[in-house]
Structure 1
Amino acid sequence: MNRRPLVWFAVFWIAGCSVAAELSHWGVALAVCAATIMLLGLVLLGKSTRRLAAVCLIGFTLAAGERMWADARNVTALTGLDLPDASYEVEVTGTMISAVLVDGDRATFRVTADTVRISGEAAPREVRERLLVQVRLAEQPHQKIAAAWHRGDKVHLTGELTLPAGASNSGGFDYRRYLYSSQHIHWLLKVTGIGAVHAAPGPGWTAAAMLGRVDAARDWLGARVDQLYPADQSGYMKGLVLGIREDLDPEQFQQFSRLGLTHILAISGLHVAVFIYALGAVLRLLRMTRERMLVALMFAVPFYVLLSGSSPSVVRAGLMTMLALLAARMDKLKDGLHLLAAAAAAMLIWNPYFVQDVGFQLSFAVTAGLIMFVQPVRRAMPDWPRGKALLDLLAVTVVAQVVSFPLTIYYFNQFHLLSIPANLVLVPFISFIVMPIGAVALLIGMLWPFGGQLLAAVSVYANDWTFLLVSKLGEVDALRTIWATPPLWWIVAWYLSLAVFCRMLPAAPVAVQADLDETQPLQGGVEPDTAPIWELQEERKLPVWRIRRTGLIFALLAGSGLLLYAYFPDVWNRTADVDVLDVGQGDSIYIRTPEGKRILVDGGGTLSFRKAGEEWRKRSDPFEVGGKVVVPLLMKRGVHALDLLVISHLDSDHIRGLQAVLETIPVKAIVWNGSLKPDEDAEAILRTAVQKGIPLYRAELGKQWKVDRNTELTVLWPPPAAGREIPRVDEQNDDSVVLYMRIYSSAFLLSGDISSVAESSILSRLQDIGAAPLSVNPIDVLKVAHHGSKYSTSEEWLRFWRPLQAAISVGATNTYGHPHPDVLKRLEAASAAAFRTDRDGEIRYKVKRTGIYEQTIRKN
């Protein structure tokens, strides 16, 4: 600890910032006490000086205090307007502080408001408030008008002020928290039409206006890249060379993401190193002295950081580079860990919210891991002179993957076993060949367009092979693993095990040639030429080797145990889960049985009302409930495969999200209502299921499935088909699959979108076949049919089932009037407590042998 005081100061600064971000004030106070005790123990053990311990404790306390102070200041100036579901008509004047992103029929930018006049108030409020502005464009020509707005412009806006959406599902994306921590934004301003936006150039030398010139330079360079590369590659090359990721094809990004290759597309230390190397070569050609060259490079780095987008990874790399150049200029260049520690502390002092940024965490964790662990790993590998470069690359790749693994599964819940070979092959190829060729082609193309195109053609060919390889590797679904989000203690334990493992790694033995002229003494009766000297030396170090061996075994066992726990976190959990997910105006219910079987009933679906000729409105990465909500939630809950997928019926609001589910998560069997519907979504879902070889079973009245020893499904509707031919059904609601599910002694009724007509038919058939015992006891939960439609959930239906609780899956902004007041009155009269996803968010039920013992509601 005494040898690296700056590193330990940075560690405690990061720790203080982190605990203040996650804990209450009392929690922070306890953390300060714990840090004090730990540092005192290190002093008593002689591992730290009193001065260093005091400095680290001060750093921990100051970092926590700075974060709490930042939180206290990070509040809205628009007081009295924080009702969760409220919106306000407002007029805003202010300054545009970000570039304008035009995507389909929407333009997005940030504004610092100077005045906000709320409808109904006599005078505008003079405030300083950051707003995220979303402008809905009415016509395609308006895209060019919106693209002409610039950072630094003075704007006058009229629109609707609302709070950003919070997390409505357990573990779901919290947009409100994201804007709060990353951009200090508390409000959305939704503007309809460019007529409600009046923009004019502001003062030319403000910070926003100067950054606007940087935006213009980035856009100009991006346009040059568009001229050099075909449409399917220009977005990729802009991300690779310039850090412009807005034009990257989402499907292409997803393919790279599956293999853990997205870090290639983020400007980071390698890009800064190439920039410094190229600029340094030019300066050397100009015969600049070393001292002047170091100063010039130091001042050039911030411009490159700004030009490449200023993401946390490139800021980290830029800071480290500047510190290294400064240290070299002063002839005091230290090891990389000190530079990394200084960069981390400086970034958090500037903005303590960086500690929660995924890019910041990955960038610093991987860089620290490479600095600390590559050398011991490489020493333990054989020393092959001809294969030295390959072994060096292998060591770097393996260490980077192992270090990033816990953060990868924590945030993205997946890891592809081909990630290591993919990184081993593609990272050096892209970083040392494709990226430099693209950068040089861009520079040459600005002076000689034809020459730039000739050079770019080489990387076009290389990119084709890259995309093909990434696509083929990503399609190997058998090697793609899904991981539940691990607890924070697991991540700490993983890094401790990794540190012990690398610390205990022995160096690969290297035979020492003995001097043949020197007489070797006999030892233990062994002839000198029969025992190499290195063996005799290792024999004398046997106690050290035993310690190393014990440490290695301990680290390997700990790592293996952590992997098993992370992959099977609920293997001994015998509590069932029934979760009614908030998917807007649609249905999706996730079920985990007591013995770990996974069932999904429907997958939600975002309806599209776009007319013919309005393709321009389509966004590059449109919201799709399956890919944005259902699949991430299933992955966060560790769903490696679905044992059963139930498709209640083929309406889009129940199945459109299932396309992403089928493409991402293995499905073992499908139960559906046994019909066909002449609809693009329905045909695509059934076609995908057939192509993947998933068995499809027709649900019919009376069929039962014993899912496990404590879970049983009974089909109550639809009735048996008249023949073996699959019928075509245009109106699907009354053909919905209705399931009676019993888990332990608790009963759930999942009723799809049936109407009161189908309800009456079901009750009649149940009485005819003697199924009245189903209703001897009240059912615990009724999933209300058709999102609470007026024409469902009749009094007769409620009288038969006598539900204790009712769950209504309904969209907050639906235009159908769901749930209907008459349905809510009928539920109240039946003494059924009603919960709604539009107001309560996801509705979660925990089921034990004694019944439903816990119900968790996450409110917006």
Structure 2
Amino acid sequence: MSGKVYVLVVAAISSILLRVEGFHSISFFFLLALIYFFYKYKSDYKLLISALILIVLFYVNPLYFKDTPPKPNTNILAGKITSIPDHDGNKTSFELKSNDRQTYQVNYFARDSNENNDLKNLRYGMVCQIQGEYKLPPEPRNFYSFNYKEYLKTVRKIYYQFTPDSFSLEDCRQGSVTPYSLLQNYRQNGINYIMENFPEGSRGVVIALVFGDRGEIGHEILESYQSLGIIHLLAVSGLHVGLVSASLYFLFIRLGVTKERAIDLLLIMLPIYAVLAGGAPSVLRATAMSMVVLLSLRAHLKLNPLDGISYVCLLLLVFNPSYIFHLGFQLSFLVSYSLIISANTLLNRYSSWVIQLLVVTLVAQFVSFPIIVYNFYEISLWSIPLNLIYIPFVTFFALPLSFVVFISHFIFPLFSESLLIIFDFVIVNAHRGLAYVMTFPFSTLTFGKPPLIIVVFYYLAIGLNLYVWEKSPSIGQLIKSSSIFLVVALFHWHIHYITNEGVITMIDVGQGDSIYIELPRREAVYLIDTGGLVDFRLNDWSTRTKTFDVGNDVLLPYLKAKGVRKIDKLILTHGHFDHIGGAEALIGEIPVEKILYGIGPVEGVFEQQLLRDFYNEGTEIEFVQKGYYWKRGDFNFQVLAPVGGEQTLNDRSIVVYTKIGGLYWLFTGDLEAPGERRFLNNFNAIEVDVLKVGHHGSNTSTTEPFLEFVDPSFALIPVGRTNYYGHPHPDVIGRLEANDIKIFRTDHHGAIRYRFKNDVGHFETLINERTVPKQSVRHR
């Protein structure tokens, strides 16, 4: 079976995908590959029987894929902390394994600074008993958003979260000490030591490279690494493990240890390093692969590298089959397999180390492209040149110096401080270089989230391209084979321009408004408001570094997942932060051709600066009122308000009226009772099928006369869960229900989407799925 163990990996992955995801494009792709391998190796009965056994075992084993257990019928959680507690501002979170062997995610928000400081003394392995409430993890509230609930279930085996009523260090005691808990505490102490003693500019990088935790790197810096395609340099992987192993090996040799004993020591120390480095799938893969190589050297066995990595992959999947859904696992093994299969042939063709580095970078970037674009929706044209610069920089400077400054800080603090100044200066300027590259044109290309079938075609094209590159040094043949990949990429790039389906989505931005309108064949993209979260926190001790921002965390990911590369019109209905706060995130990310703003003075400092920043980016600013009109293709849009002279910002809201997908839509911003009365006086009659309820369902809006006048069939209410204002008001809900109006609200349903072709469409919601049949969603 030498050289064929990868077939067993394909069998295992096929079985896991079928068990968890069912029959779709990716599972079909792996099944076809498996059928091909069965035919290719049909005479190797040992291989075929082993593959069939693995398929059955992975598919039927109930220990791997369990249904959600019943919610505990108690308000007490007792057990051991099984992750290093994370402290960010007033939030403390950790995993706790209960006495019945279930793991729970615990999140607690400290009530005062003393309690907060007290909780920073929590340690891995402590045994706690807490009183509180069990909750299901939150479901994704927007289309294309990260499914945290599914991540906890599949990757972490966590089915419930626990929120303590109160929590202090007195609720916990030190548990039994094990070698594993000791290592975790050493890791926690090391991270804390770096946070307390290292400069802010470089400490995040040192923690990432030494302990495998990127959580302390600033959001903007981390985004630069991710957007520019070099985020893998901050992950502990084969490069890091290889450097650590080689350094320890030569150190042992210099100390007079024999080669055999040096290998024995490494076999003992590598698992310890894997724990200290965080134990992520990429760390486990690199560590296990190094140990397999060392064991083969120790036993004087010649091991096929393809078999070695296949055994490691199978071992990890047996340990946790859900690793297959972990992005780090996917990228780590995919790149490793590709380099093992292709790079050796290709590298032998070139003598220059620069060309060899370029080849390795090209292969790695090529094979990771579909996964990157599927998960992050965009890629950078600068990733290859930046990898050529930053791979040597991290390999020969940042990585070894991170270990040197960390270790020497304990032994020679004065020397380490001097070295740390130089190290910090270089790291900070390296990050400034990335920020500068981010300002370059085409620093990122937004493709949007591809359908899984396109991912399959990408990999078929990539496989063909690598095969031709291996077999033929001809540039002409390589260009011809690359053309298939380019065709798939061009189809992906233009997919939204060739479909006759349009969509209107009320994005769930919490307590705020944001409505996305995409016309068929992407004839135009309009965005009505952007949401915006007002932060009421006043105390410095409670301020979190990982702050939630509607623009960056909700709006931009949605637009990029849709592949939006330009917004034709951004309609800011009025100047309240919950309608315009998220717009700031668009600046420099997605070009906006024109902003519509209600006529009248721009009162607030934030609003003035926002419009000024957009204007400096080349956006046209137009102040509009009743009578403003535009047309795009077969679609007409009218502004019905404001008329000018309104007394409040809410009543200055831009009101947009249009017919889309066979329905008449009225978008009212935060229009309140005075504005509604003015609206009734200005119009004799108006047809409305869908009403965007004004002011989040406040009782100051959607009055009975206004509701009787517009007489909609559907009402959309953008409102935050458990919001401070008590929206939507029960009286408003009562009036809507009394008029037999179907209600969709973001606090109950998450994002609300209307998909249409020509004059027929249907509503979809993400939570509490509620779909109105196509035939019933027509204009009356």
Whether the TM-score (by the shorter chain) exceeds 0.5 is yes
Q: How does 1:545-624 map to 2 (within 5 A)?
A: 552=478, 555-596=481-522, 597-611=524-538, 614-624=539-549
SS at match of 2:592: coil
2:96 aligns to what? 111
In the TM superposition, what whole-angstrom CA distance separates every residue of 1:589-623 from its partner, at most 9, and x where no partner exists? 11101230111111112221123xx1221111111
Distance 2:651 2:675 in 1: 6
The yes-or-no answer on 1:826 pairing with 2:735 is: yes
The yes-or-no answer on 1:390 pairing with 2:354 is: yes
1:764 aligns to what? 681
Q: 1:366 to 1:373 in 2, by over 3 A?
A: same
Distance 2:485 2:42 in 1: 27
The Cα shift of 1:113 comes to 2.4
2:436 aligns to what? 472
| Aligned with 1:844 (options 735, 738, 753) | 753
Q: Name structure 1 gaps, 5 residues minimum.
A: 82-88, 115-126, 510-544, 722-728
Distance 1:508 1:41 in 2: 24
The Cα shift of 1:196 comes to 8.9
Distance 1:273 1:356 in 2: 26
The Cα shift of 1:675 comes to 4.2
Q: 1:223 to 1:849 in 2, by over 3 A?
A: closer
| Aligned with 2:639 (options 715, 730, 747) | 715
Counterpart residue type for residue 719 of structure 1: V
Distance 1:144 1:665 in 2: 41
2:774 aligns to what? none
Distance 1:264 1:430 in 2: 7
**Does the CA-based 8 Å contact 2:3-2:304 persist in structure 1?**
no
When structure 1 is superposed on structure 2, of 500-509 and 270-279 the one drifting more is 500-509
| Aligned with 1:221 (options 186, 190, 193) | 190
Under a length normalisation based on structure 2, what TM-score does the superposition of the two structures give?
0.93
The yes-or-no answer on 1:640 pairing with 2:640 is: no
**Does the CA-based 8 Å contact 1:104-1:618 persist in structure 2?**
yes
Counterpart residue type for residue 120 of structure 2: A
The Cα shift of 1:306 comes to 0.7
1:446 aligns to what? 410
Q: How does 1:498-517 map to 2 (within 5 A)?
A: 498-505=462-469
Q: 1:144 to 1:490 in 2, by over 3 A?
A: same
The Cα shift of 1:287 comes to 2.0
The Cα shift of 1:42 comes to 5.3
| Aligned with 2:330 (options 350, 361, 365) | 361
Q: 1:48 to 1:749 in 2, by over 3 A?
A: farther
Distance 1:214 1:799 in 2: 68
2:574 aligns to what? 649
Q: How does 1:174-193 map to 2 (within 5 A)?
A: 174-193=147-166
SS at match of 2:107: strand
1:91 aligns to what? 76
| Aligned with 2:670 (options 725, 750, 753) | 753
1:55 aligns to what? 50
Q: 1:169 to 1:197 in 2, by over 3 A?
A: farther
The Cα shift of 1:720 comes to 4.3
SS at match of 1:817: coil
**Does the CA-based 8 Å contact 1:585-1:814 persist in structure 2?**
yes
Counterpart residue type for residue 305 of structure 2: G
The yes-or-no answer on 1:276 pairing with 2:245 is: yes
Counterpart residue type for residue 91 of structure 1: I
**Does the CA-based 8 Å contact 1:647-1:670 persist in structure 2?**
yes
Distance 1:54 1:675 in 2: 77
Distance 1:91 1:46 in 2: 56
Distance 1:214 1:34 in 2: 39
Counterpart residue type for residue 54 of structure 2: G
1:118 aligns to what? none
Counterpart residue type for residue 613 of structure 2: T
The yes-or-no answer on 1:789 pairing with 2:671 is: no
**Does the CA-based 8 Å contact 1:40-1:53 persist in structure 2?**
no
The yes-or-no answer on 1:430 pairing with 2:394 is: yes
When structure 1 is superposed on structure 2, of 223-232 and 310-319 the one drifting more is 223-232
Distance 1:367 1:38 in 2: 19
When structure 1 is superposed on structure 2, of 637-646 and 313-322 the one drifting more is 637-646
Distance 1:655 1:786 in 2: 14
**Does the CA-based 8 Å contact 2:437-2:443 persist in structure 1?**
no
Distance 2:237 2:201 in 1: 23
Q: How does 1:347-358 map to 2 (within 5 A)?
A: 347-358=316-327
2:339 aligns to what? 370
Q: 1:196 to 1:844 in 2, by over 3 A?
A: farther
**Does the CA-based 8 Å contact 1:782-1:803 persist in structure 2?**
yes
1:145 aligns to what? 118
1:78 aligns to what? 71
Distance 1:32 1:561 in 2: 22
**Does the CA-based 8 Å contact 1:592-1:599 persist in structure 2?**
yes
| Aligned with 2:721 (options 796, 812, 826) | 812
The Cα shift of 1:858 comes to 1.4
2:282 aligns to what? 313
1:515 aligns to what? none
The Cα shift of 1:492 comes to 2.4
**Does the CA-based 8 Å contact 2:11-2:34 persist in structure 1?**
no
The Cα shift of 1:107 comes to 0.9
Distance 1:842 1:221 in 2: 42
Under a length normalisation based on structure 1, what TM-score does the superposition of the two structures give?
0.84
2:308 aligns to what? 339
The Cα shift of 1:560 comes to 1.3
Distance 1:316 1:624 in 2: 34
Q: How does 1:518-557 map to 2 (within 5 A)?
A: 552=478, 555-557=481-483
The Cα shift of 1:798 comes to 2.2
SS at match of 1:186: strand
SS at match of 1:326: helix
1:173 aligns to what? 146
Distance 2:691 2:169 in 1: 46
2:771 aligns to what? none
State which structure, 1 or 2, has the greater radius of gyration over its C-alpha atoms: 1
Q: 1:53 to 1:214 in 2, by over 3 A?
A: same
2:772 aligns to what? none
The yes-or-no answer on 1:732 pairing with 2:656 is: no
Distance 1:71 1:255 in 2: 36
2:627 aligns to what? 702
1:86 aligns to what? none
In the TM superposition, what whole-angstrom CA distance separates every residue of 1:350-377 from its partner, at most 9, and x where no partner exists? 0111111111111111111222232444
The Cα shift of 1:563 comes to 0.2
Q: 1:836 to 1:506 in 2, by over 3 A?
A: closer
Q: Name structure 2 gaps, 5 residues minimum.
A: 769-780
